[in-house]
Amino acid sequence: MNRSQVAELARRFGRPQQWRTTVRLNDHDQGVLRLGGAGRRHDVTFAVLDADLVAVVRPVRFPPGLWRIPSGGVRPGEPVEAGVRREAGEELGIDVALTGYPLVARARLVHPDGCHLAWTTHVVTARPVSGAALAPRDLTEVAQAAWLGFGELTGPVGELLRQGPGGLRRYRADLHDRIARLLGAATARTLEE
């Protein structure tokens, strides 16, 4: 994403919280990063919310029972909402509308061989606009999609992610925890107003 795309999100939804972290990679993680495409140094993680549930996916490389909030890349020149809608169609099989921009995570990915990479995750929230029945279209990338409560995602699923190979899964578990806390805090503020 370029600066104007980020500025547009901040204009619409306010400035997101910032989180900086270092992620220790292993050889497994290096292979996963190569699958993501050369030159890309960001992703947009989209938390699609329906009542108390969040849409999650099981990538084909994940074993059954292991889930994550979906993410993808915004193409150069593509409006962010259009990119998220395209990715949500591919990974979840639904149309969505953006509702927020709560977090930007800036990760320094470090491999023991000395290689490092700066990675940025832009987290947006969205709601389904075409129903809530999930049916992934890109079955080369996503094996399943489901609705989970944040308690399950940050609890049992989070523990499974942290036990997986390498640091990328731990990064996603930590990201899920932060998203859950931010959304919980936003809900609490709304209820108090």
CA–CA separation, 12 and 54 (whole Å): 22
Domains of the chain: 3-192 (3.90.79.10)
The predicted pLDDT at position 191 comes to 36
Q: Is 61 left (phi over 0), alpha (psi -120 to 50) or beta?
A: alpha
> Could you tell me how far CA 58 lies from the centroid of its own chain?
12
Q: pLDDT truncated to tens, each residue of the chain (193 aa)?
A: 888 899 999 999 999 999 999 998 887 777 666 545 556 788 999 999 998 999 999 999 999 999 999 999 888 888 999 999 999 999 999 999 999 999 999 999 988 887 888 999 999 999 999 787 999 999 999 999 999 999 999 999 999 999 988 899 999 999 999 999 999 855 543 333 3
> Which of these, 14, 20, 94, 27, lies nearest to 56 by C-alpha position?
94
Strand partners, 121: 43, 105
Instruction: State both tokens at 157.
Output: 């699923």
What is the model's pLDDT at position 17?
A: 96
The CB density around residue 143, as the number of other CB atoms within 10 Å, is 15
Q: How far is CA 192 from the centre of its chain?
A: 28
